[in-house]
Chain A
């Protein structure tokens, strides 16, 4: 099974500043035949189900603000919020869909400093 880890566990960022979340998989999630990373990012606000932000590691979901971006390849990935807004306070999860069982990282809580 692929184990996903995230760092930090939590972070507090001033409004308008950059937030960076790291995600690491225990084995590659890069599928060599199509050169795609089978990695997604989700945002979960209290009392709500998760929301898909990013898929294929760097493709933004329709309607997601462009301050959210994903990068990385292989086993190391990053979600960046370029200019934190109040509505971005949430827990963020990475998730691999390279193989089953699909697995999520433990989450990173983002707050306002």
Chain B
């Protein structure tokens, strides 16, 4: 069974850098894309970005200028860095596996999720 434990700092001050890592245990790392998704308290879901085994990334334009998603294939891990955080970045951050259709290469669903990391930005 695939598991995605995730970790990182949960309390940040404005202007600091958010850094989270997600590990992939129990399944293929190379056959999927890997995403970060966040959810402000009491609100809906926002897709942050994704990366694959080869390091190909797609970012949400709303965050692109502050965002880096990277992959460490030697450890089957992927990471999120978000610079210059503000209170608006306070949210539960999830990592998730993204299914990829073999023929079309289309992504078609986040089927395995991490447990989430609550990140609070406060002075």
Interface of A toward B, CB cutoff 8 Å = 1, 31, 34, 36, 38, 40, 42, 49-52, 55-56, 61, 93, 95, 97, 100-107
Contacts and interface: CB of A to CB of B under 8 A. Distances in A.
Contacts of A102: 35, 47, 107
23 contacts: A34-B104, A36-B106, A40-B109, A49-B96, A49-B113, A49-B115, A49-B116, A50-B45, A52-B110, A55-B99, A55-B108, A55-B109, A93-B44, A95-B109, A97-B109, A100-B50, A100-B58, A101-B47, A101-B60, A101-B61, A102-B35, A104-B45, A104-B46
Given A49-B114, A52-B109, A55-B109, A104 B104 contact: no
Contact residue range for chain B?
20 to 34
A40 B109 CA distance: 6
A97 B44 contact: no
Contacts of A38: 106, 108
